[in-house]
Amino acid sequence: MTFSLKEKSQQILAQADICINGDRPWDIAVHDERFYRRVLSQGSLGLGESYMDSWWDVERLDQFFTKVMRMRLNKQVSRTGKVVLSIASVLFNKQSLRRAFAVGERHYDIGNDLYTAMLDKRLTYTCGYWSGHPPASGLDEAQEQKLDLVCRKLKLQPGQKILDIGCGWGSFAKYAAEKYGVSVTGITISQEQAVLARTLCTGLPVEILLLDYRKISGEFDHIVSLGMFEHVGYKNYRTYMKVASRHLKDDGLFLLHTIGGNETTLIGDPWFDKYIFPNGMFPSIAQIGKALEGLFVMEDWHNFGADYDKTLMAWFANFDAAWPRLKSKYGDRFYRMWKYYLLCMAGVFRARDSQLWQIVLSKNGVGGGYQTVR
């Protein structure tokens, strides 16, 4: 029996209880029959691009992707894009020093107006901590609880010097300087982030540098990195850990906050690589463990990946509400792209296909043991 492309697509989607042209929030509506060939031949790249081109719609993208990822349907369509990325990843260091600023230019520099509208009041572009005690009631509180959690895990003391690798718009630097009396050196590869971060941290003992992590100088009491390791690339994981070890005092702590994958991979997703985070990829437990071996003692490993679902949904709600004033600058196709990005990732975290890890590391082990903080 020969199945049409539409029938084959429906057969795959049915495994996740998704219907074509059904009436439930997670059922997809196909507007262009070319959709089936495009997705079956191009996989995630074809699915994302065809959504951007309005070839299909779904009432709840987040629910659609939750179902897709729980049934691992992404494993059943074309791997062409991933094969191409994999070959490039093996042959080239896609996150080399020469390429380091690409993600800053193509993602973080697209407009501070967008991020100001979407993020919390402190402009924290990493997972909020909703599951604290008591649980956070909104995005601003979740992000403040996350920043405080980091400070408490590092046991910050007034007068200490902190290095923030991938400081974003300076939310951690500002919070730590104000609340804990420390001085912070933050580095970013985004010009727009650096400009605004310097403004937001005016009057505080905070220095913001436009700099790649491989060019860091100085020694620090503690090091923190929130949501930057996803841009490092597997070829550079060991180098990254050596840099952190070299610039951390012998009795200091290093807190690594990163999205993590359940499986080891050498590539990122083709659609996200092309449109959202060029050269990005999620590390696995095995890759992180190998990278830090002989350099650090793992003191604490905290997974609150389920909180990223809530964070992404809050970001989308803010973005969607602000769209009327952003539309003239960014355009309708950008709206579909950004909506797809945020809600796809919400579904991925809801399905627990990706995780959010905070890892506390020491160089020689904390005497008497590290006291876990939650």
Instruction: Specify the range with the lowest mean pLDDT, choosing from 44-48, 81-85, 201-205, 365-369.
Output: 81-85
Number of domains in the chain: 2
Same domain, 11 and 130: no
Looking at residues 121-129, what average pLDDT do you find?
98
pLDDT mean across residues, the chain: 94
Same domain, 296 and 188: yes
Question: At residue 78, does pLDDT exceed 60?
Answer: no
CATH number (domain holding residue 295): 3.40.50.150
Same domain, 193 and 283: yes
Distances (CA, A) of 112 to 107, 109, 115, 150, 332: 11, 7, 5, 25, 19
330 falls within a domain: no
pLDDT digits (tens, 9 = 90+) for 212-227: 999 999 999 999 999 9
Whether 182 and 257 map to the same domain: the answer is yes
**100 shares a domain with 28:** no
pLDDT at 102: 80
Average pLDDT over residues 289-310: 98
pLDDT at 85: 43
pTM of the model: 0.94
Tell me: do 109 and 39 sit in the same domain: no
User: Same domain, yes or no, for 74 and 100?
Assistant: no
Please give the Cα distance from 13 to 101 (Å, whole number).
38
Confirm whether 297 is domain-assigned: yes
Q: Which of 11-20, 103-112, 247-256, 274-283 has the lowest average pLDDT?
A: 103-112
pLDDT of residue 86: 45
- Structural domain that includes position 17: 5-78
Asked whether the predicted pLDDT for residue 338 surpasses 80, the reply is yes
Q: Are residues 18 and 141 in the same domain?
A: no
What gap in Å lies between CA 140 and CA 186, rounded to an integer?
22
Span 249-259, pLDDT tens digits? 999 999 999 99
Q: Do the Cβ atoms of 253 and 224 come closer than 8 Å?
A: no
Judgement on whether residues 22 and 107 belong to the same structural domain of the protein: no
Q: What is the pLDDT of residue 74?
A: 85
- Asked whether residue 31 is assigned to any structural domain, the reply reads yes
Whether residue 45 has pLDDT greater than 70: yes
pLDDT at residue 209 is higher than 70: yes
On whether both 194 and 247 belong to a single domain, the answer is yes
Residue 340 falls inside a structural domain: no
Shared domain check, 61 and 20:
yes
**313 domain residue, yes or no:** no
Contact 26, 18 (CB under 8 A): yes
